[in-house]
Amino acid sequence: MNSFKEKFFNLLLGMFVGDTKIEGKGGFVNLLKIKKKYFENEFKLKLQEKIEEILKIYPEFESELFEKLYTFFSRYFSESGSIYFVNTPSYHQIYEKIYTDKEDVILFWKTRDLYYIKTDRIFKSLEIKIEENGRECKFCFDASKLEYKKANEKREVIYELDEERTTKEKIYFYVYYSERGKTTKIDEILKKLKKKEIKITEDILEKAFKRFEQQSEVDYFIHKNAKAFLTEQLKLYIYNYLFKERQDWTKERLDQIYKFQEIAELIIDFVSKFEDELVKIWNKPRFVFNSNYVITLDRIVKQNKEKGFEIIEKILNHKNFNEQVKEWKELGIIDENFDKNKIIQTSLTGKELNKKYQFLPIDTKYFKDLEIEILSLFDDLDNQLDGWLIKSENYQALNTILPKFKEKIQTIYIDPPFNKEQDADYLYNVKYKDSTWITLLENRLRLARDLLKDTGSIFVRCDYNGNMYVRLLMNEIFGEENFRNEISVSRISKQDPKVKRFNTAIDSLYFYSRSEKFLFNLLFKNLVKAKSERWHAMDSQGQGQPLYIFGYLFEPPKGRHWTYGQEKIKQMEEEGKIRLKCKKCGYIHTSGIWKGCPQCQNKNEIKVEYLLTPTEVKQIDSNWTDIPGSSPGWDFNPVPNSE
């Protein structure tokens, strides 16, 4: 087999199967297994038949055919089986649109037009040798039982000793992802090995685990329109090949190029069919596995007083009530002196709720046998709910609720995972390739726009790692004309004298509207010290025209314009809210035609002032650094933002 033929089929195998043996469990792994069957049972056989058919006509074309197939497809097929600009050195002369007739600057990134699925390591079973003090230790890691991550939750890899297969020559481990805080119990492993008379130190174990975990992390994507993308790139490739240099093409040579095109189009057709199926699966609304309702006691009583108190008494005597109390204490809603017998009080008019406890929230997850009875109190539950709290991978959650909430949401605030230089102490990933992070955000922002009303707005918080991308991405999705503000918000200040730069003190909050019809209310804050009535210069930045003030035509100062127009100035003269102040002697003119200063005869060196009314408030602008970077006192990770 010539080298390009081998490379080409290995490339296809990687495209359909991924660059690893498929082991373990999980939704995405199951898709990879389906993809592998599709490749081996259908696609590969048809492709080989087509290639053999062409090589019967042009046997001398075999080497070049595989070279061209490999050269073209290696640009777009990644190790995870995703399709995008993977290998694009400048000499390949790959083309993509980087501006349009409407925009002369747009954001381009390698993984544009993809759905981001997740970042994960598809672990393969591995045998590792560790040498220590002249002794060789062999470890076998079995990944066949590992259930892969569903999204981007952060989960540690843990190891369990397989005692049955372990011998003095080779130590076997099963590999899992941690659940519910489970960890690798190294002390127990060492004790079990000692019973088998296998002497291994903790350091050697740690080295073996680290070596296993060095398997590379990859990003998984699905192309939104693989056929259109690859077909366009193929046309550009052939055009560039035919017309790069001027030469005469024989009919036979052109036919060979067309045969290459036929094979390439066959591959594109097969690849894109499977990719289209993945798109359908990815965008299919998800089933809700479980739902609970949180309803305060006062609302239960308000719907039906007699029935409401009957249900509350059942709740108070329920076997799971102590679990509800535990949650209230964790949330700081009640203290250690809480007494459930004081929730319901009796007065002359009958039963009533203790005002201290009337807003206690009842979570139906503790009272599933009473849930239907509680919900039956409400005639129109959907409209009486204050909100939904959804625990899910957020793209799937947004996509699932889209039919119900399309163009119905007034305000969206998101604080996406910042694309930090290194991983951090969060329950989710915060370290991505820039292009991956942009795709993750783009997928969700497009859904967010579909959810917003015409009068709605969205606020997106970001830091210096991603600000330059977010602004351009928001311009593309919401329209540059709908940009409203870049608001500065404080972040938690960490002074590090070793860092050779200024401390990063702020993050950015990008404010965009859905359309020009968006609702906006001015916000005000109280001044620390109220401002009394005072006079202020009546000129603002930017050159303007002369206007009549007290019957005299005054030129504004150079580079300035009069703050108010002619009509407003006339009104202010009548109300006594404008005056002229002589710059030479300080004379004040408040009424009548201005003929010059009666004290020093100065006529033009005048300061025009208007009267500001007393104020105790200040209009809020885009500088929000006067509030803390986060809300302290919450036992919650990550700490909620103050804005």
Token digits of residue 138? 């062999």
Report the predicted TM-score, pTM, of the whole model to 2 decimal places. 0.78
Q: Quick one: CA dihedral 414, 415, 420, 422, positive or negative? A: negative
- Reported in sequence order, the residue ranges of 309-415 that DSSP labels E, i.e. its strands, are 344-347, 350-353, 361-363, 409-414
Q: Residues 504-527: pLDDT tens digits? A: 889 999 999 999 999 999 999 998
Sequence spans of domains, the chain: 3-117+223-282, 125-214, 294-384, 400-521, 533-613
pLDDT in tens, 21-67: 555 555 556 666 777 777 778 788 889 999 999 999 999 999 999 99
How confident is the model over 324-345, as pLDDT tens digits? 999 999 888 999 999 999 999 9
Question: Given a cut of 50, is residue 424 above it in pLDDT?
Answer: no
φ, ψ dihedrals at 484, nearest 5°: -115, -50
Instruction: With beta carbons less than 8 A apart as the criterion, state whether 476 and 259 touch.
Output: no
pLDDT band at 182 (very low <50, low <70, confident <90, very high): confident
> How many angstroms separate the CA atoms of 576 and 569, rounded?
10
Main-chain phi, psi angles of 137, to 5 degrees: -115, 130
DSSP 8-state symbol, 451: H
Question: Percent of the chain, pLDDT > 70?
Answer: 89
Give 400-521's CATH code, choosing from 3.30.360.10, 3.40.50.150, 3.30.200.20, 3.40.50.1360: 3.40.50.150
Q: Are 311 and 373 in contact (CB under 8 A)?
A: yes
